[in-house]
Structure 1
């Protein structure tokens, strides 16, 4: 011990003038921004660096809801940095930057870090944050998305959740890969994204390790901790499949399994429509308490038991699996672009209904168009810019899906599929904007579509009937709505709540 310490001191003294010299900077170094400038949530995310990987190591005691963690952030500065921010809510014990202690100023969700020396643009940087706290006791601006359950916890939420269990750059524009290791008392299960790489026990604690190898937005990383029945197997295209069901589902268990176990079938159906499945694993988790929504956590969506209160529900499975393309692989550039997530996932449900023979997309379009009178407030929310308070409004979902079907009517089936397939291929594992989608639709269809999209996405009021808007005159509610409507409505009543 003393010999190693002495060697370390000698090396430090010898090399202080060379290896430990401050890096050269291209220009004047400065602080990174405390947000990415999102119009709806300006404080979300941070400027000045790009994250490549998160290594999240946790120890969680369900009885006390106590979380202790060490997260290593592997990043690259995008400018010369004198300081930078991390988004985090729990009490912080220490921060190391490139192995050296850093000064911190922690207020709300903003953890301002000042390293011992500036960070050079383009150079590898590591941030090691040690922390501990009780997540359910920490509120910021009156909000706490952490869900404590009787047997554990769920870190599931949108648009914010990661700050309650690991520090990071919490905005969809900065995706990264993940390693997540959680130690819990023996007999407790932990489910997260990707693939379970190892599970081991020592001294009454079991550590579950999960790895995600495709770029993932921070809000799409999750952990489910508690008593779960786990099933592993092979999904579509030979990918790993893991599903998890709370031990306390009771009479919801049968319909939940009848729905979520169809995930590989849904993956194959959607792949045939829109192209290669974009992530490395498949599955889902069904919780028995704490949730009244579903969320498209990457590779493994999380579902409330309430989706299965009336029986099997494949619509919600289709919705969340569709998000693996629309929202997870192709993520929003700003939260105002949420139609690119929710309108597409909802329209996937319509296409599944058409495939299953429970109502064509045209029948569903006619139903929703006619069932909302022209003076219905539903039409006052514009899916292309709904406002921060309406990010998950029903119009973003249903009027959003109607927009895509109306586009199908205007440009034709083949052109719409070509546009969507091109979109998910060109934007794979990156971010997209509505204006980029409009430009692509015009390019691939050969049609001028500005007025169409302005009417459907950005203009309050019900789009008038007419061929230019993809609405046949006299559209009306069927005397008997398509069978899919009941399940779609029940699904969206809950899905809309996932903020």
Structure 2
């Protein structure tokens, strides 16, 4: 306890302070950011969310979204105030049943002051009533909300939640979800997980979805529009729901020819990565104009442009691989993005091998040989690329190249044991690049620091001798372009955002 000398004029104020319990005086605001070095203002401190219950109503004609979010959490410090990340207009906030005061600050902060300070370890129920037009809201000069001719879509990385529900928006704070949205009859609503119920009344239909495994906020998806919906079950018994906009035009066939293989691809993947981590599968293609796809948990989002040149299972492979690498095991910080993208890219190389269109080794040789030493590609460090290069092609291709170098160094038995063991060890949690390095050394029994430094962290092309030592591009003849390369390259922009 700190001591200080008070002037006589402060005695009245001091007497008021003495009336405040010592426990309340020790409470402080939660941090306005969770501490991510790439995005300091993303997420919040002071609490941990366990569940989001979203009960909303959406009008496609006006893009108006209204409803109530109920957030279940537990405080991780003595709190006087805490933040949620949110952009829409708030009418009322309650904390544990009592009205709370609230204000906005920064680009996307909703500051909530409960009626009484909250002690560390307190279970809290936060109810936020709100409404707004998501497409009218911007933060940092962009919008992550995707307006479509027949509705709206939220699917963005590293942020999308602010435009449709208040949250602790960082992968470190995963939660389960119930998402119930009412839309006009004739419009469908698609989200993550399993469809619990539908009900119609007075010209409106309510769709209720449940995600019962921990899910990062950016992986929660909102899709309202006019869809053709297909259902099925994978050979391993996982129910599948796919949805296709009725306005896909001549891309409809290619989209279906790709996404309807979701069950087959997920079952094939489980041979490499272990059991599929969720109880739902699928994908959806709304009538958006973006070029990217996203691994929204259990039900990836695909842009019609992903199928502009015909069917492409490579993009489906990429997003389904993320269900293990990125969704179940999520980054600790956004600088760990290689854990997501390098492995999803390598899954495409394994699929190429499976389809007889080029082995992973042949693709690795081609990637290494096709870029000269002065190509800026080599200056990006996949192990910590910086926020400006988070989705740079080097994180994907050089990231997968690092995995082939690792495979050649430790042998197939240890390598594939790592690919299967990692998603089990960190299931539904978070992990870093450093965690992976330690795990690879543990499983292989080999020191690997130099290998990872060379392929993930040095801002230069590994020397020819180093590459040959890792069995990369050993031959004297320039490697031929693998047959699968065009389809894989067509997914290069899967996570590139227009903003």
TM-score, scaled relative to structure 2:
0.93
Q: Which runs of 5+ in 2 are unaligned?
A: 1-19
Identify if the C-alpha distance between structure 1 residues 473 and 483 changes in structure 2 by more than 3 Å, giving closer, same or farther. Answer: closer
2:333 paired residue number: 334
Which of 457-466 and 364-373 deviates more? 457-466
Is residue 491 of structure 2 the alignment partner of residue 488 of structure 1? no
TM superposition shift of 1:140: 1.4
2:3 paired residue number: none
Counterpart Cα distance in 2 of 1:207 and 1:35: 34
1:366–1:476 contact (8 Å) kept in structure 2: no
TM superposition shift of 1:291: 2.6
TM superposition shift of 1:497: 4.0
Q: 1:48 aligns with which of 46, 49, 60?
A: 46
Q: Report the secondary structure of 1:224's partner residue.
A: strand
Counterpart Cα distance in 2 of 1:289 and 1:52: 32
1:295–1:498 contact (8 Å) kept in structure 2: no
1:343 paired residue number: 342
Identify if the C-alpha distance between structure 1 residues 55 and 464 changes in structure 2 by more than 3 Å, giving closer, same or farther. Answer: same
Q: Report the secondary structure of 1:319's partner residue.
A: helix
1:5 paired residue number: none
Two-structure CA RMSD over aligned residues (Å): 1.7
2:14 paired residue number: none
Deviations 1:381-408 (A, max 9, x none): 1101111011000000110011101110
Identify if the C-alpha distance between structure 1 residues 236 and 36 changes in structure 2 by more than 3 Å, giving closer, same or farther. Answer: farther
Is residue 62 of structure 2 the alignment partner of residue 64 of structure 1? yes
1:371–1:476 contact (8 Å) kept in structure 2: no
2:51–2:177 contact (8 Å) kept in structure 1: yes
TM superposition shift of 1:148: 0.7
1:367–1:476 contact (8 Å) kept in structure 2: no
1:275 paired residue number: 274
Counterpart Cα distance in 2 of 1:212 and 1:247: 26
Identify if the C-alpha distance between structure 1 residues 443 and 475 changes in structure 2 by more than 3 Å, giving closer, same or farther. Answer: farther
2:152 paired residue number: 153
1:29 paired residue number: 27
Deviations 1:408-459 (A, max 9, x none): 0111111111122221111000000111110111111111111110111110
2:37 paired residue number: 39
Counterpart Cα distance in 2 of 1:27 and 1:427: 39
1:123 paired residue number: 122
Counterpart Cα distance in 2 of 1:130 and 1:475: 66
Deviations 1:38-78 (A, max 9, x none): 00001000011000000011111111111112100000111
2:154–2:222 contact (8 Å) kept in structure 1: yes
Q: Which runs of 5+ in 1 are unaligned?
A: 1-21
Identify if the C-alpha distance between structure 1 residues 147 and 103 changes in structure 2 by more than 3 Å, giving closer, same or farther. Answer: same
2:207 paired residue number: 208
Counterpart Cα distance in 2 of 1:131 and 1:358: 51
2:189 paired residue number: 190
TM superposition shift of 1:91: 1.2
The count of residues paired between Structure 1 and Structure 2 equals 477
2:479 paired residue number: 478
Counterpart Cα distance in 1 of 2:462 and 2:53: 48
TM superposition shift of 1:311: 1.4
TM-score, scaled relative to structure 1:
0.93
2:72 paired residue number: 74
1:392–1:498 contact (8 Å) kept in structure 2: no
